[in-house]
Structure 1
Amino acid sequence: MTLMKTIKDFLNNQIFIGIDDSDSKIGGCTTFVGYLLIKELIRQGINVVDIPRLIRLNPNVPWKTRGNGAVGITVYSEDIDRVYNVAVEILQKIEEEVASMPALVLIDQKQREFIEPIIKDAINRIIEPELVDKVIEKAKIIKYAKRRLGLVGALAAATLLLLEGDYTYELLAYRKPEFIGTKRKIDIESVRVIDRLYRKYTFNNIDGKRLLLTPHGKDPVLYGIRGEDPKKLIEAKKFIVSEEPLGWMVYITNQATDQHYVNRKISELKLGDSVRLNVFVKSSPKIRQGCVTLEVGDHEYTLTALFFNEVGLMKDIATKLEPQDEIIIMGGVRPFLDFGINVEKLIVKKLAKKIITLNPACPRCKRTLQNEGKGKFRCRFCDLKGLSLPKRTFFVSREIVPGLYLPPIRYFRHLMKPLKRYGKEKNGRNYSLNEYKMIE
Structure 2
Amino acid sequence: MIYMNYFYIGIDDTDSPDGMCTTFLASTILNEFRDNGIEIIGHPRLIRLNPFARFKTRGNGGVSFKLGMDQNIALAKEIVLKYVSELSMFDCDNTNPGVVFYQGQITEEMIDYAFKAIYSIITIEEAEEFANHIGAEIHKFKKGRGIIGSIAAISCPLEDYTYELLAYRHPSRYGTKRNIDYDSVVKMDKETYPETFENIDGKYLAIEPKTPCPVLYGIRSNSPGVLEAARDIVIPNEEIADSCIFKTNQHTDMHIQNANSISELKQYSCYKIKGFVKDKPHIIEGGHMFFTLSDESGEIECGAYEPTKNFRKVVTKLRAGDEIELYGGIGEQNTFNIEKFQVIKLNEFIYRNPICECGKRMTSAGKGKGFKCKSCGNKIESDEKVPEKIERTLINGKFYETPVSARRHLSKPLIRMNLE
TM-score, structure 1 normalization: 0.84
Matched-pair contact (CA < 8 Å) for 1:360–1:391: no
1:405 paired residue among 400, 404, 413: 400
Q: Which amino acid aligns with 1:95?
A: S
2:204 paired residue among 201, 210, 223: 210
Matched-pair contact (CA < 8 Å) for 1:46–1:76: no
Q: How does 1:101-180 map to 2 (within 5 A)?
A: 101-110=96-105, 112-146=107-141, 147-162=143-158, 164=159, 166-180=160-174
1:225–1:292 Cα change, 3 Å: closer
Question: How far apart are residue 201 of structure 1 and its match?
Answer: 1.6
Structure 2 residue 242 is matched with structure 1 residue 250: no
Q: How does 1:271-350 map to 2 (within 5 A)?
A: 271-289=267-285, 290-336=287-333, 339-350=334-345
Matched-pair contact (CA < 8 Å) for 1:278–1:327: yes
Distance of 2:361 and 2:180 partners within structure 1: 68
Distance of 1:46 and 1:53 partners within structure 2: 17
Matched-pair contact (CA < 8 Å) for 2:131–2:151: no
1:396–1:236 Cα change, 3 Å: same
Determine the structure 2 residue equivalent to 1:238.
232
1:21 paired residue among 2, 9, 13: 13
Distance of 1:204 and 1:61 partners within structure 2: 24
1:81 paired residue among 74, 78, 95: 74
TM-score, structure 2 normalization: 0.88
Distance of 1:367 and 1:95 partners within structure 2: 75
Question: How far apart are residue 322 of structure 1 and its match?
Answer: 3.4
Question: How far apart are residue 347 of structure 1 and its match?
Answer: 1.7
Distance of 1:386 and 1:352 partners within structure 2: 30
1:45–1:77 Cα change, 3 Å: farther
Distance of 2:345 and 2:332 partners within structure 1: 28
Distance of 1:106 and 1:230 partners within structure 2: 27
Q: Deviations over 1:190-247 (max 9, x none)?
A: 2122111112321121222221112132221121111112111111111222222112
Question: How far apart are residue 73 of structure 1 and its match?
Answer: 0.7
Question: How far apart are residue 353 of structure 1 and its match?
Answer: 4.3
1:269 paired residue among 265, 281, 289: 265
Determine the structure 2 residue equivalent to 1:194.
188
**Secondary structure of 1:190's match?**
helix
Q: Which amino acid aligns with 1:204?
A: E
Determine the structure 1 residue equivalent to 2:389.
396
Question: How far apart are residue 19 of structure 1 and its match?
Answer: 0.8
Give unmatched runs, 5+ long, in structure 1: 426-440
Q: Which amino acid aligns with 2:337?
A: N
Give unmatched runs, 5+ long, in structure 2: none
**Comparing 78-87 and 343-352, the one that deviates more:** 78-87
Q: Which amino acid aligns with 2:49?
A: L
Distance of 1:136 and 1:306 partners within structure 2: 38
Question: How far apart are residue 249 of structure 1 and its match?
Answer: 1.5
Distance of 1:266 and 1:387 partners within structure 2: 42
Matched-pair contact (CA < 8 Å) for 1:173–1:224: yes
1:313–1:188 Cα change, 3 Å: closer
Matched-pair contact (CA < 8 Å) for 1:124–1:275: no
2:33 paired residue among 41, 58, 79: 41
Q: Which amino acid aligns with 1:207?
A: D
1:354–1:179 Cα change, 3 Å: same
**Secondary structure of 1:48's match?**
coil
Question: How far apart are residue 15 of structure 1 and its match?
Answer: 0.8
**Comparing 289-298 and 325-334, the one that deviates more:** 289-298
Q: Deviations over 1:121-174 (max 9, x none)?
A: 222322233321220222231111212321111111111141x1x211111111
Q: Which amino acid aligns with 2:297?
A: E
Matched-pair contact (CA < 8 Å) for 1:317–1:400: no
Distance of 1:386 and 1:209 partners within structure 2: 60
Question: How far apart are residue 369 of structure 1 and its match?
Answer: 5.3
Matched-pair contact (CA < 8 Å) for 2:124–2:148: yes
Distance of 1:254 and 1:370 partners within structure 2: 58
Structure with the larger RCO, 1 or 2 (CA within 8 Å, 6+ apart)? 1
Distance of 1:227 and 1:138 partners within structure 2: 36
The alignment yields a C-alpha RMSD, in angstroms, of: 2.8
Q: Deviations over 1:252-308 (max 9, x none)?
A: 111122221211243333221011111222344444434333332333232222232
Question: How far apart are residue 351 of structure 1 and its match?
Answer: 1.6
1:134–1:395 Cα change, 3 Å: same
Matched-pair contact (CA < 8 Å) for 1:360–1:392: no
